[in-house]
Amino acid sequence: MKIVLSGIQPTNMITIGNYLGALRNIINFQKDNKLMIFIADLHAITKDFNPKELQQNKKSIAALYMACGLNPYDNIIFYQSDVIEHSHLSYLLLCHTYMGELNRMTQFKDKSSKMAMANGTQNIPTGLFVYPTLMAADILLYDADIVPVGKDQTQHMELTRDIAIRFNKKYKEDIFKVPNIYVAEKGAKIMDLQNPDIKMSKSNENTKGTIFLLEPIDNIRKKIMSAKTDSFDNVKYDQTNQPGVSNLIIIYSCLSNKSINDIELLYKNKKYGDFKKDLADIVCNHIKELQDKYYEIIKNVDFDKQLQKNAQICQKIAAKKIDKIHKILGLKVGN
């Protein structure tokens, strides 16, 4: 069985982009593989955060995973900070990562550029800069075979692979498994509903363009009905000339069993209004079902114990790996 590993940052503002690009694909892997899913709380503190909210959001994400269909008994779901080996390995990897590599990360450039303070100065936490090595540690610690992520994480994944290869070469041993990246064919980059030139994100200023999984269903319907399209009134997948409607077609296709082609045919002589109405029904029904499950789970399941038990299993695997690396690096004296 292959190890499929992924993490998501704890915020209760999970979007339909996170869901279609990452969450849902991860869950689909559980049929034939062993899943290791963690709530990336250490990543969440690389920018400004509120400790109380963080604590609540951790639980919320765990419940969301379960609402999406993750079986917490056959797979391992845990909180990242319960296994301190993640941050330790991150340090060891940092010593094998170049400043130039981290400087090139577009996510860092993006996120740090948004951190300008009112007085024009910038205080960028170093943790944000070194974040990709923590992500590499999360993955390499467990010899993950496959890492499903959205498109925006592929650069971090390439870096993870480079670090693993570099390490193995330098110490002439297969210390780390070089992980494969999995990016979904459809839905790996859901765009903002109001500005289809930018990625849908929790942090986009105009929240009218973002669908949050836990927001009231009526809001979601309104957001879809007022999504920006174009004046062609022709339901056609054409990223260049009709980015808005193309994005809606992708969402439709991901949540129905219809291909892009099927959808184009179905709405051939129809108006955008009809298409949007059907899409709103599909999205709202799907999310409503998720929300119902979520609220049921968050009320009834005693997560923390189960997740802590899982962390203990991970901790044993991680400690063994760290021990092996310490030996190879000459950090360990004796046996």
- The piece of 108-116, 147-155, 194-202, 256-264 that touches ligand TRP (CB under 6 A) is 147-155
**Rounded distance between C-alpha atoms, residue 136 and residue 114, angstroms:** 24
* Residue 113 burial (CB count, 10 A): 10
17 interacts with, out of ligand AMP, ligand TRP, none, CB within 5 to 8 A per kind: ligand AMP
CA distances from 10 to 38, 54, 64, 76 (A): 10, 7, 10, 17
**Candidate residues 15, 153, 246, 253; the one interacting with ligand TRP per rule CB under 6 A:** 153
**Structure token digits, residue 306:** 């189960």
- The piece of 28-36, 67-75, 110-118, 195-203 that touches ligand AMP (CB under 6 A) is 195-203
Question: Which residue in the list 47, 202, 258, 270 is annotated as catalytic?
Answer: 202
- CA 277: distance to chain centroid? 28
Minimal CB distance residue for ligand AMP: 21
Minimal CB distance residue for ligand TRP: 7
CB 186 within 8 A of CB 151: no
Residue 332 annotated among the catalytic residues of the structure:
no
139 interacts with, out of ligand AMP, ligand TRP, none, CB within 5 to 8 A per kind: ligand TRP
Residue 7 in contact with ligand TRP, rule: CB under 6 A:
yes
Q: Which residue type sits at 101?
A: E
Residue 140 in contact with ligand TRP, rule: CB under 6 A:
no
Residue 202 annotated among the catalytic residues of the structure:
yes
Stretch 8-47 residues interacting with ligand TRP (CB under 6 A) = 8-9, 40, 43
Residue 34 in contact with ligand AMP, rule: CB under 6 A:
no
Residue 150 in contact with ligand AMP, rule: CB under 6 A:
yes
- Provide the angle, in degrees to the nearest 10, between the axes of the packed helices 126-140 and 154-170: 70
Question: Which residue in the list 47, 111, 208, 270 is annotated as catalytic?
Answer: 111
**Rounded distance between C-alpha atoms, residue 102 and residue 116, angstroms:** 20
- Angle, CA of 172, 178 and 182, to the nearest 5°: 170
Residue 199 annotated among the catalytic residues of the structure:
yes
- CB nearer to ligand AMP: pick between 20 and 322: 20
Q: Which residue type sits at 191?
A: M
Residue 159 in contact with ligand TRP, rule: CB under 6 A:
no
Beta strand 146-148 with 76-79 is unpaired
**Rounded distance between C-alpha atoms, residue 318 and residue 312, angstroms:** 10
Kindly state the smallest distance separating residue 205's Cβ from ligand AMP, in Å.
15
Give one DSSP letter per residue of 209-226, joined into a string.
G--BTTS-HHHHHHHHHT
The set of catalytic residues is: 111, 199, 202
Question: Which residues here bind ligand TRP, judged by CB under 6 A?
Answer: 5-9, 40, 43, 135, 138-139, 147, 149, 153
